[in-house]
Structure 1
Amino acid sequence: MSSVSSIISLNQVSLGYGKGQSEQRLVHNLNLAVTNRQLIALVGSNGAGKSTLLRTIAGLQKPHSGTIELLNKSINTLNAKAFARYISIVLTGQAEISYVKAAELIAMGRLPHTGWLGNFSTIDQQKVNAAVEQAKVIHLLDKPIYQLSDGERQKVMIARALAQDTPIMILDEPTTHLDITNQVNIIQLLRTLVRNQQKCIIFSTHNIELALQVADRLWLMHQQTVIDKVPEDLVLSGTLPEAMSTDQAPFNPESGTFQVQHEENHPIALTGSGIRARWTQRALERAGYYLQPRSAVSVEIIANNHWNICNNNKLVSTVQSIESLLLRLSQLYSP
């Protein structure tokens, strides 16, 4: 990646906690370069330093060593207002004014662009309106912050960052507290902003499966460094499975998902194809069966939502739901 086109660059950056003998380094001599029109997902295990890295890029804490540049200028040379015109930030645990209404909090995103009197222009109001629509928070505008749920506060904070309208957005766990539908909506919104407005967005997440679907690049924090690659290369190289798999939930490179390990008690044969076969297999594995061709007990998926259960090639019963299938199998295997 060319440093000439970089909007953010980290040069020999080390970061961590403490000083002197109590110093704990999380990352050593990190070099990263970021261009516009990129959606970057920062992933890694708990305690790897994801929040620390984002706070350091955002200028909220200093690196132990090295330099961070914004448009080829050290971030230390920018005052707070100038910095806020380039980078908007949504961090976990961000301070909030509880009795301020959501509409007022979102409008605060325009402060870096208004005069010293804070007078709104037509453009400022348009930016706020667009942010409200994009984050889908119009129904929350009249509510004070203390009345909002965690998920609603998160969406309002994202709306404030959108209203700030910066070329760079940094978000620490933006989908925390959100249900799966809103998680997908927010991530799709970030991707749209990158594509249509050529923004650079860096967000941390524990939802690696979702990040693999949308991110242009993954930053994987592992072994005191950050591995920067496109998602598919991280998977195919084996780096992501090695770094993130556990004995209880190994990462499956073929499906791009983490798989819960189930106790396997009984072999069973399964014949069939398509979506019903996949969900039947999931149900069987969850119930403690493992697939093995030519097993004495077999399940055959047939037309019209029916399943045939056979034992030693003899039909035992036909059922019409997976619930009934599991119940009949448990009876078959019971002592």
Structure 2
Amino acid sequence: MPSSVISFNQVSLGYVKGRTDQLLVRDLNLSVANRQLIALVGANGAGKSTLLRTITGLQKPLSGTVKLFDKPLDTLNAKTLAHYVSVVLTGQTEISYLKTAELVAMGRFPHTGWLGRFSVTDRQKVEAAAHQAKVTPLLEKPIYQLSDGERQKVMIARALAQDTPIMILDEPTTHLDITNQVNIIQLLRTLVKTKNKCIIFSTHNIELALQVSDRIWLMHQQTISDSVPEDLVLSGTLAEAMSTELAPFNPESGTFQVQHSSSHPISLKGAGTRAVWTRRALERTGYLVRSQEPVSIKIGSDTSWIVYHKNQPVSSAQSIESLLHQLSQLYSSLSHP
């Protein structure tokens, strides 16, 4: 197998509007190794879908050369391309009155003869794909009866049945709850490591991408930053590209933290999980947590929270809801003695 399964040489991406090229990525030079799970992230409009469509041959680059397995993409016919790349794109249309099993089986069409006859191997691939994507119970249902999340998993099963060395997925976890999101991503990781695949998926869930990806492609300023997740964070590149004033990126936690308006200063003493969630509750409800303030909270050794004013205990609470209620009353009394 070539050292690079995908390569970009001086590639510029975008679209033509009128007589003008609308440039999204300029002069991209990038090589993709095998056995990589790559998360593609970036702001809306950065060109994520355009990049994926270009890799799959659905859209031509404005300039430059894209190669799959050292072969120029524009020299590959549809059948050859279907042996190399399987695709799950947003907005794909399906025949709603097909059964789920029939839609998954469509993934095997590049491998069947011109009569479309299924071999034992083809059927085994379809069954395995349905099992891996956890859609086996849905196989006898028509597509129109499926929820958006179920349909998304079926489209992934179809791509799995195609059994290609490269998989391209545009926001594969859209419409899925957190359990199914993690199941799909873990499945992709397993395929990369055990089936020698290269998988590229776009996502808006950057926090999840940081935890599971081998590499991250960050699209910003008409270029792509290609790095392992940790270096992308430590270099400050991710924060620079994706942080906003309302939700800056916290490199220590690997999360985007929503900024709340604060009106009442308060201090918090304690550590551990209860302290973390107490602080989050305080900041969410408008308190400014600082080190030394007249009003303070101490995390009790049991399950209590003790409220102090000028180092004197004034109340205790057995839940965060109760604590917030008592603080509201305390600040009200301090404002209107």
TM-score range for the pair, normalised by the shorter chain length: over 0.9
- 1:237 maps to which of 235, 238, 242: 235
For 2:271, the equivalent position in structure 1 comes to: 273
CA distance in 2, matches of 1:195, 1:75: 25
Q: Deviations over 1:211-269 (max 9, x none)?
A: 00011111110101111111111111111100000001001111110000011111111
**Equivalences, count:** 333
- Provide the C-alpha distance between the structure 2 equivalents of 1:279 and 1:132, rounded to a whole number of angstroms: 40
2:292 aligned residue: 294
Q: Deviations over 1:291-327 (max 9, x none)?
A: 1222111111112211111111111111100000000
Equivalent of residue 210 in structure 1, options 194, 200, 208:
208
**TM-score normalised by the chain length of structure 2:** 0.97
Match of 2:151 in 1: 153
Matched, 1:50 2:44: no
1:123: how far off?
Answer: 1.1
Question: Following superposition of structure 1 onto structure 2, how do residues 185-224 of structure 1 map, counting pairs within 5 Å?
Answer: 185-224=183-222
Unaligned runs of 5+ in 1: none
Q: C-alpha separation between the residues in 2 aligned to 1:4 and 1:163?
A: 24
Letter in 1 for 2:291: P
Aligned to 1:101: 99
Cα distance in 2, alignment partners of residues 256 and 300 from structure 1? 27
Structure 2 Cα separation of the partners of residues 162 and 42 of structure 1: 20
Report the alpha carbon displacement of residue 196 of structure 1 after superposing the two structures with TM.
Answer: 1.3
Q: Which amino acid aligns with 1:325?
A: L
Is the deviation greater in 249-258 or in 116-125? 116-125
Following superposition, the deviation at residue 111 of structure 1 comes to 0.6
Alignment RMSD, CA only? 1.2
Q: Give the corresponding residue for 1:65.
A: 63
Which of 6, 9, 29 matches 1:8? 6
> Residues of 2 paired with 1:121 and 1:304: CA distance?
65
| Residue of 113, 118, 121 corresponding to 2:119 | 121
Whichever residue aligns with residue 270 of structure 1, its letter is: L
**Percentage of pairs with the same residue:** 73
Tell me whether 73-82 or 57-66 shows the greater mean CA deviation. 73-82
Amino acid at match of 2:117: N
Instruction: Indicate conservation of the 8 Å contact 2:2/2:69, yes or no.
Output: no
User: Cα distance, 1:120 vs. partner?
Assistant: 1.2
Q: CA deviation at 1:187?
A: 0.8
Amino acid of the residue matched to residue 195 of structure 2? Answer: Q
Q: Quick one: distance in 2 between partners of 1:163 and 1:231?
A: 30
User: What's the CA shift for 1:19?
Assistant: 5.6
Q: Which runs of 4+ in 1 moved over 6 A?
A: none
1:312 aligns with 2:315: no
With the length of structure 1 as denominator, give the TM-score of the two structures. 0.97
